[in-house]
Amino acid sequence: MLESGDPKNQRRRFKRLRRRSFLKGIGVAGAASVGAGLLAQTSSAFAQEGPEEHSGRLTRGDAALLRFAAAAEILETDFWVQYNELGGIPDSEVPGGSGNAPYTAALAVLDEDMAQYIHDNTDDEFTHQNFLNAYLASKGASTVNLEPFRTLPGSTATGSSGKLRLTNLTQLTLDTSWWTRYRSSTKNPDLGDTFPQAVPTLAVGQHTAIPRTDNDLNDPNFLQAIANTAAFHFPTIEQGGNSLYPSMAQRATHVEVLRILISIGPTETMHFQTWSDKAGNAPPLTAVDPVTGASVTFPDLNSPPFGGEDFQTNLIMPEPCPFLSRKLPVVSIIRPTQTRGIAMGVVSFLTAMGLFIGQSPEFFAFMRDLAEDADEARRGIR
pLDDT digits (tens, 9 = 90+) for 273-293: 999 999 999 999 999 999 999
Q: Average pLDDT, stretch 246-254?
A: 98
Q: Please choose, from the candidates 101, 70, 49, the residue with its C-alpha nearest in 3D space to the C-alpha of residue 261.
A: 70
DSSP run (H or E) holding 127: helix 114-138
**Is beta strand 285-288 parallel, antiparallel or unpaired with respect to 295-298?**
antiparallel
Supply the pLDDT for residue 1: 33
pLDDT above 80 for 104: yes
Asked whether 212 and 157 are in contact (CB, 8 A), the reply is yes
Cβ atoms of 71 and 146 closer than 8 Å: yes
**Please, are residues 71 and 367 in contact by the beta-carbon 8 Å criterion?**
yes
What value does the mean pLDDT take over residues 79-85? 98
Region of residue 192 (phi > 0: left; psi between -120 and 50: alpha; otherwise: beta)? left
Measured distance CA(83)–CA(369) in Å, rounded:
28
Average pLDDT over residues 82-99: 97
Least confident of 16-20, 117-121, 129-133, 311-315: 16-20
Residues contacting 136, CB < 8 A, separation 6+: 43, 56, 58, 63, 66, 67, 70, 142, 143, 144
146 band by pLDDT with thresholds 50, 70 and 90: very high
Give the model confidence (pLDDT) of 221-243 as tens digits.
Answer: 999 999 999 999 999 999 999 99
pLDDT given for residue 56 in this prediction: 83
CA distance 296 to 347: 25
Nearest Cα residue to 228 out of 190, 152, 176: 176
Give residue 1's Cα distance to chain centre: 40
Q: What is the mean pLDDT of residues 94-112?
A: 98
Judge whether residue 96 has pLDDT over 70: yes
Q: Estimate to the nearest angstrom the gap between the alpha carbon of 373 and the chain centroid.
A: 18
Quick check: 7 pLDDT over 60?
no
Alpha-carbon radius of gyration of the chain? 21
**Residues found in the chain:** 382
**Which tens digit of pLDDT belongs to each residue from 315-346?**
999 999 999 999 999 999 999 999 999 999 99
DSSP-derived secondary structure letter, 216: G
Output the pLDDT for position 15. 58
Residue 108, pLDDT > 70, answer yes
Question: How far is the C-alpha of 128 from the C-alpha of 122, rounded, in Å?
Answer: 10
Q: Is 160 helix (H, G, I), strand (E, B) or coil?
A: coil
pLDDT of residue 253 exceeding 90: yes
Mean pLDDT taken over the chain = 90
Look at residue 314 and tell me whether its pLDDT is greater than 60.
yes
Q: How far apart are the first and last CA of the chain?
A: 29
pLDDT band at 380, cuts 50/70/90?
confident
